[in-house]
Structure formats: structure tokens, C-alpha cells
Amino acid sequence: MKLEYGSYSLPCFGQTESGDLLFTQASAQGLLFGLIDVSGHGEQAAKVAREIQAWIGDKAAERPLTFLQQLDKRLRGHGSGVGMVCHLDSRRALLSYCGVGNPLLWLVDKHQVHSFPSKPGLIGQYLPRLEERHVTLGLDDVIVLASDGLASNAICDDGFPAAKLRTLSAADCALNLVRQQGRFHDDASCLVVRCRHD
């Protein structure tokens, strides 16, 4: 299975920097990817996001649950946020995910749009009992990960039709989702991963 991915982010109206962090780490086992939405907006939130990006380094082999537990310890007394971390094993076509707070995770397959909620909590302040979940993927499935700067019903016939996710490039999907469904009063970010034939 070959993976195609792309992302797009816009800061909150009136700000020049975003506290949303999108990341991808490819390895021989697949792809670790995620979104961390740092509390607040603007320069201070962006500073914490950059520090998290530097800390991430080479964590491609880590489980999403372990990643979030380590990030929680890292942020204690320093910052907070919500997030969703995923690992896609391209050999087994298996998506593992774990989230805290209000990030949005959708899986668009040939038949419908599935949404996967996170557990309530705040990384760096109150980390709930985490649970890593797994989903088997099919060819041409599309995974969409977004901050709450996008509407929770962004992928629908009245919003961004699911059919477009299966025809546009991953980068174009992310860009169009943010531009069409983003909320101007919040940072808006989106990462799209598509599973393709080798």
C-alpha cells in the first residue's frame, strides 16, 4: 500500500502564527502522523507548538498512546493542548489512533464517512486513561485529521462532499477543507492521508 499525504493550516483571524501543529514521520513500518492543538492562539501558542515539533524528532516507531503520554509529561507546567496521534502500518493496512480533547478524525471509505472521537481531557494538565484503537483500511480509503477550527460536520453533502476526497490530491483536499470549512475565530488545520495501490 502506498500512502499519499498533504496538509494545510491557517491561523486564527488577526494572527500571523498558529498554535496548531501537524506532523508526519515516515518509516519502513508506515507513517506516524498527528495534530496537536496548543491552547490559546498567536505567538505564545505558536512558540509551544515549535517546541513540540523540535521534541518530536524521530519518533516514527512509537505507538500513538506512548507518544501522548510522553507529550503530557513534557508539557506539564509549561503548556497544554489537545491532540490526536495516528500510526498507519502500510504493510498490514492497519490504522492505530489515540486522541485527547476535540480533534476531528474521519475515515472515508467506499461506502460512508466514519468519525472517531477522542477522550475528554487536556494534554499537559489532565490526561485521561488513554485507549489506543485500531481500524483496518482498504485501498483508496482516505483519512482526515483536523483541529476544531473545522466544523464537526465539515465532510458532508452540504459541506465538503466525501466524493471529492477520493478524487482530489491529498494536499488539495486539506487546502480546500480549511478554506471552505474553517472557522475564522480559531486556528484551522487539516491533514489528509490517502491509501493507494503500490
Mean pLDDT value of segment 43-52:
90
pLDDT on residue 40 = 86
Write b or e for each residue in 132-146: b if 16 or more Cβ atoms lie within 10 A of its Cβ, otherwise e. Answer: beebebeeebbbbbb
**pLDDT tens-place string over residues 78-120:** 889 999 999 999 889 999 999 999 999 999 998 889 999 899 9
Q: Which residues pair with 31 in a beta bridge?
A: 26, 88
Mean pLDDT value of segment 20-49:
91
**pLDDT tens-place string over residues 121-137:** 999 999 999 999 999 99
SS3 labels along 142-177: EEEEECCCECCCCCCCCCCCHHHHCCCCHHHHHHHH
Q: Which residues pair with 135 in a beta bridge?
A: 95
Q: Is residue 74 over pLDDT 80?
A: yes
Q: Hey, what domains does the chain have and what are their CATH numbers?
A: 2-196 (3.60.40.10)
Are 150 and 184 contacting, i.e. CB atoms less than 8 angstroms apart? no
Question: What is the β-pairing status of strands 94-100 and 30-38?
Answer: unpaired
For cell 500512502, the residue is 3
Average pLDDT over the chain, rounded to an integer? 90
61 — pLDDT class (breaks 50, 70, 90) = low
174 — pLDDT class (breaks 50, 70, 90) = very high
DSSP 74-133: HHTTT--EEEEEEEEETTTTEEEEEEESS-EEEEE-SS-EEE-PPBS-BBTTB------E
> What pTM does this model have?
0.93
Above pLDDT 70, what percent of the chain?
A: 96
Mean pLDDT value of segment 143-168:
84
Nearest Cα to 84, choosing from 101, 61, 60? Answer: 101
